[in-house]
Amino acid sequence: GDSRDEQAPTSPDRGLLHVWHSAGHSRQLCPDRVLLSRPVLQVSLGEHHGLLLAQGGQVYSFGELLWRDLSVPVSAPVPEVSLLGKTVVRVAAGGFHCGALSEQGSVYMWGENTAGQCGQTEKVPEPCPVIVVDGEVVPPVVVRIVDLACGREHSLALSAQNELWAWGSGCQLGLVTNTFPVGKPQKVEHLAGRHVIQVACGAYHSLALVRRLPPQDYNTQHAPKKKERGQSPHYSVTEREELSAVEDSHYCPLGVELTEVMKGELSFLAFPPLENFSPTLESQGQTDSVTETDGSPKVHLLSGWRTNKNFSEDLELQNLLEELSDQSLDKQDTDSLSSHTSGL
């Protein structure tokens, strides 16, 4: 057939939607096809709801739409009427909220908003615009968004300038604050100067795909604070501190930096809650600096924050993590000695 027919957006073999539900081990999965008037270009799922992006930029919702007290079967998704004419190019479902991105780079949010994840100050049963404004320039300018991701209590947006913006609640925002919710989009300063390519959200953690820094820039931003404190067959623990000009009130999540051993020029920077580690996966172009033989990533304890008298609990947490790390290393030495003794 004509190749143009195969590429045509109205091809009967493209955009077909099939759904299936959880089944026991003894039951065979039987996907059911959902009949829609338009081909489906993208699907995004939340905890109990989902979004469909159809050809022409139309958005459909299904599942438990708690913000409207509606339960919509997936076989009969309802259109988001207020988005008609917006030409949506991407949808993102959070745990209990929704996001849509228009062709013009505008963001629309609706659904659960108790944590500020919809970028509004009140309930949001219908799609509402969330304006991302860069106030660092004079006069302030509206930022064009090109990618969108939603977690359970937070949302992330990637701008056309390859900068990351966040709003909602939790340290997974990666913002320099401990006051939540963050009701308006804020730029993630931790990634200032980095070229962000893609963003993704888990329920309570975030990940940004960024271009790898040149070796000299990476060494400058991640100069070692203390010598390496120990090694295991799988990882080494090193404390590091970013060399950046900050005020005493600087506050950002404690984390762990993972240096991935692989060729490429991409990095992965993640922001989970404060009680979890914050991984950074940095791809390397060379492998001769790696001491592990199994290709496992190195793990570094990262102190990308400062403490002061207002954040005593953060200092306590840091000390606790250091004690746990020391205990882990001591246990490794004890286990190694026991193994050596038993072999005599």
The DSSP annotation for 173-219 comes to: G--S-----EEEEEE-GGGTT--EEEEEE-SS-EEEEEEPPPHHHHH
- Taking residue 79's Cβ as centre, other Cβ atoms within 10 Å add up to 13
Tokens linked to 265: 């020029």
Work out the pLDDT band at 316, boundaries 50, 70, 90. Answer: low
Whole-number Å distance between alpha carbons of 264 and 267: 9
The pLDDT assigned to 216 comes to: 72
* Domains annotated on the chain, with CATH: 31-204 (2.130.10.30), 212-344 (no CATH)
pLDDT tops 50 at residue 53:
yes
Work out the pLDDT band at 196, boundaries 50, 70, 90. Answer: very high
The pLDDT assigned to 285 comes to: 37
The pLDDT assigned to 222 comes to: 54
Report the range of poorest mean pLDDT among 40-54, 89-103, 169-183, 272-286.
Answer: 272-286
pLDDT tops 80 at residue 95:
yes
Whether 148 and 155 have beta carbons less than 8 Å apart is answered as yes
Work out the pLDDT band at 272, boundaries 50, 70, 90. Answer: low
- Measured CA to CA in angstroms, residue 107 lies from 41, 99, 161, 184, 239 at distances of 18, 7, 16, 12, 39
User: What is the mean pLDDT of the segment spanning 245-253?
Assistant: 40
Work out the pLDDT band at 163, boundaries 50, 70, 90. Answer: very high
> What is the sign of the dihedral through the CA atoms of 223, 237, 303 and 185?
positive
pLDDT tops 50 at residue 230:
no
Instruction: Return the higher-pLDDT residue of 52 and 325.
Output: 52
pLDDT tops 80 at residue 161:
yes
The pLDDT assigned to 265 comes to: 58
Instruction: Return the higher-pLDDT residue of 290 and 55.
Output: 55
Exposure class string for 275-300: b at 16+ Cβ within 10 A, else e: ebbbbbbbbbeeeeebebeeeebbbb
Regarding beta strands 58-65 and 49-54, do their DSSP bridges make them parallel or antiparallel, or are they unpaired? antiparallel
pLDDT tops 90 at residue 114:
yes
User: What is the mean pLDDT of the segment spanning 277-289?
Assistant: 37
The pLDDT assigned to 85 comes to: 94
pLDDT tops 90 at residue 246:
no
The pLDDT assigned to 331 comes to: 52
The pLDDT assigned to 314 comes to: 54
pLDDT tops 50 at residue 152:
yes
Single pTM value for the model? 0.66
- Measured CA to CA in angstroms, residue 156 lies from 139, 152, 153, 198, 199 at distances of 24, 11, 11, 10, 7
Q: Tell me which range, 180-194, 258-272, 322-336, is most confidently predicted by mean pLDDT.
A: 180-194
The pLDDT assigned to 327 comes to: 60
User: What is the mean pLDDT of the segment spanning 135-148?
Assistant: 96
